[in-house]
Amino acid sequence: MFDSTTRTVVVVGAQWGDEGKGKLVDVLAERADWVVRYQGGANAGHTVHIGDKSFILHQIPSGILHPGVRCAIGNGVVMDPETLFTEIDELIADGVDVEGRLYVSERAHLVMPYHKLVDKASAASKAIGTTGRGIGPAYEDKVARRGVRVLDLRNTERLRELVTAGVERANAQLERSGSDVRASVDETLATLGALAPRLLGLADDVGLCVHRAIKTGAAILLEGAQGSLLDIDHGTYPFVTSSNTTVGGAATGVGISPMALNAALGVVKAYTTRVGNGPLPTELEEPLQSHVRQLGHEFGATTGRPRRCGWFDGVVVRYAARVNGLTGLAITKLDVLDTLDELAVCTGYKIGGEVYTEFPADLSLLEKAEPVYEWFPGWKQSTQDARSLSDLPPAARAYLDRLEALCETPIAFVSVGTRRDQIIGVHAAVA
């Protein structure tokens, strides 16, 4: 995907998350110089399979698994320092060289222990279906201009003021929610004090580092978390995450100019999934839903929660293509559909006698939506050994052709398994 004119590429989820971004970033990172996470937090679960080993990366960019690639966590991420170092130590134990290759933006906000307590006790968070990892409360403090940033660890007096005020707010919320747990200023400061030397050793002006790398012609890969339909502005509000997951959030989440972005790869499953509450117009009925969930191992890498499964929704992906300006699609998990007798693709929503082909912002409309389907015969044979489009069964190629036309975006990659090598590069112009 990198060439002489395309040097800065964004990889973004174009559904409701869990699309397989980790694998695509891992594949593309082989040709990258930098891989940078631009939003989200430790709720990401980017899974990469290398041989017999599986790596689940929550905050560290997937490029860390390629020797020599520099990785960074941008200012748009709310970072959990405790789990970050657990992740680093696990990578080191597995033989991954992290030393000198990982940078953390000094402007990144920290997920504090009291954020997690508030998140777990919040009835609103339970209704939305969050992971309870403190990400929403951390973003809330960031927007309210009262958050704790990495650079605040350098100033102990300032840090104590921020933590004291944060603990007081958190305990008031916990009391209102009826929780019997409370945050502690001294315990919070002790935790941060133990982590500070190591974290400050990674801290840098990531935006400046990436800017300088771009100036030298380096290949830059920007990695998002969650999916476009979970974007705080453009997703299925209020059943969304707390950040801008779309390409527009990539430049601000790293600290570079939007003019530096050359291409955007949208990652989508060959069907649709989402975790938690909120609309899923193409959701499958039982027992087919459970069958597809088992075929695709659709359980959260971070939480273990079962994912809701549906047919491919062309309205959703075409909307994501427009909002992100996608230059290519990566279709993942095509192999999960190998044994199905027939497949459906949603081309529109029937709402109150009218057919909508554009994704509506109003959830009350989505709740009434009846998917308009086109049906395709299944190919009933394994695609896992395919390494080119010509290796795929004709029915599988016809299915992909329809997805490409419906989403108005060329397919760049097709993934047919979990391993690195189980991928098809399609169009050289976008791949």
Binding positions are: 17-23, 43-47, 131, 145, 226, 241, 301-307, 333-335, 415-417
Catalytic residue (choose from 66, 115, 142, 234):
142
Return d(Cα 293, Cα 304) in angstroms, integer: 12
Q: Which residues are annotated as a binding site for GTP?
A: 17-23, 45-47, 307, 333-335, 415-417
Contact predicate 334/20, CB 8 Å? no
Residues at the binding site for substrate are 301-307
204 catalytically annotated: no
Whole-number Cα distances in Å, 347 to 33, 260, 278, 406: 39, 34, 20, 7
Choosing from 18, 33, 119, 152, the catalytic residue is 18
**Could you give the angle at the alpha carbon of 190 between the alpha carbons of 186 and 194, nearest 5°?**
175
Distance (Å) of CA 124 to CA 120, 137, 393: 10, 11, 47
User: Nearest-CA neighbor of 253 among 413, 61, 7?
Assistant: 61
- Considering the candidates 26, 33, 46, 119, report the single residue annotated as catalytic: 46
Give the strand pairing for 342-351 and 370-377.
antiparallel
Q: Kindly list the distances between the CA atom of residue 220 and the CA atoms of 21, 60, 254, 324, in Å, as whole numbers in the listed order.
A: 16, 15, 11, 18
309 C-beta neighbours (distance < 10 Å), count: 25
The pair of structure tokens assigned to 245 is 């997951």
**Cis, bond preceding 287 (omega within 30 deg of 0):** yes
Question: Annotated catalytic, 215?
Answer: no
* Phi (first) and psi of residue 292, to 5 degrees: -65, -40
- Going by their DSSP bridges, the two strands 342-351 and 354-356 should be labelled as antiparallel
Active site residue 94: no
Q: What is the DSSP string of 312-329?
A: EEHHHHHHHHHHHT-SEE
The helix (run of H) or strand (run of E) holding residue 50 is strand 46-50
Active site amino acids: 18, 46, 142
